[in-house]
Amino acid sequence: MSMGVDCVAAADSSYGGKDLASYVRSYPFYPPLPTFWGRYFGGYNMNFTVMNLESASEIQAECTDMKARGFRWIIPINSPQGPNRVAGTSTDGIADAQAFCKGIGDAISASGGLLALPGNGHLRCYLDVEPHAQFSSQYWSGWCQTVLGYQYNGGFPFYPACYCDPADGQPCVVLQNGPFPVDAVWANMPNAGCATVGCIRAPSWGPDTCSGIYTSLWQYNIDTVCQSCLSTFPPVDINLANPGATETNYMLYLP
């Protein structure tokens, strides 16, 4: 079973007297230790670092740092212009997906060979639908079809997936009834709470699910919950990959 983190900051940003990746890797997690990192891509600088909008030297430095700390895979996340953007139109979804896919390709090019598509040519690309956000079928249709149809290096390696709260109900309905298939769901519930099992030790696999849709990842805790009882916990959310598959085969790779 693989464990990993996601974060709004770059992996090589400074934290606790170290770079963040080093701080996370040295934190006393029980095995499995984290090996993948969720990073944001797209066309908009929010209040966090978007990987493809960094300079080439910054991208290369971050990739080098990740690999040196034992992080070999990156999950691409698309967080559009604020959480309510996913309530928008098909045109909004198309524009965001184009910027997202282009951003992934730009980051790969700028990395100078330090970042690559998975060898199977199947990259799961996650749309960030935050809890309680309104999520329209029109937006999803535009976003999903654009990701599926985005050509890169002569192929179509991008597969639409969704980070959401299945217990919310509404995201599942949109995904289940969309005209285009969703490759996977990254569930952010239930939250394991602030305890040794849930922050330091990963719980047994048990995410909420959308009926009929494969669950690839489970974000079983977030930084603010763990920091409420563990003052030294790093500013990262923590995740498990589905133990029934090799999920890292569907992530960006640091060769």
pLDDT digits (tens, 9 = 90+) for 22-50: 999 999 999 999 999 999 999 877 777 89
Averaged pLDDT for residues 184-200: 94
Q: Where are the alpha helices (DSSP H) in the chain?
A: 20-26, 56-68, 90-110, 137-148, 170-177, 223-227
Q: In the prediction, which pLDDT does 203 show?
A: 95
Q: Are residues 135 and 143 in contact, defined by beta-carbon separation less than 8 angstroms? A: no
pLDDT digits (tens, 9 = 90+) for 119-176: 999 999 999 999 989 999 999 999 999 999 999 999 999 999 999 999 998 999 999 9
3-state secondary structure string across 22-71: HHHHHCCCCCCCEEEEEEECCCCCCCCCEHHHCCHHHHHHHHHHHHHCCC
Instruction: Pull the structure tokens for residue 127.
Output: 């749309």
Q: Which residue in this structure is represented by tokens 């080439």? A: 56
Confidence of residue 1 (pLDDT cuts 50, 70, 90): confident
At 30, which CATH number?
3.20.20.80
> Which residues, 6 or more positions from 174, have their beta carbon under 8 angstroms from its beta carbon?
135, 136, 137, 140
Confidence of residue 68 (pLDDT cuts 50, 70, 90): very high
Q: Are residues 247 and 216 in contact, defined by beta-carbon separation less than 8 angstroms? A: yes
Q: How many CA atoms lie within 13 A of 133 on its CB side?
A: 24
Instruction: Pull the structure tokens for residue 223.
Output: 């930084």
Instruction: Pull the structure tokens for residue 18.
Output: 């170290």
Number of structural domains (the chain) is: 1
Measured at the CA of 134, the angle between CA 129 and CA 135, to 5 degrees, comes to 60
For the whole prediction, is pTM greater than 0.85? yes
> Which residues, 6 or more positions from 197, have their beta carbon under 8 angstroms from its beta carbon?
203
Q: Are residues 161 and 126 in contact, defined by beta-carbon separation less than 8 angstroms? A: yes
> Which residues, 6 or more positions from 233, have their beta carbon under 8 angstroms from its beta carbon?
27, 199, 223, 226, 227
Domain that residue 196 falls in: 3-253
pLDDT digits (tens, 9 = 90+) for 70-114: 999 999 999 888 778 999 999 999 999 999 999 999 999 999 999
Confidence of residue 189 (pLDDT cuts 50, 70, 90): very high
Q: In the prediction, which pLDDT does 196 show?
A: 86
Instruction: Choose among 83, 170, 195, 89: nearest CA to 129.
Output: 83
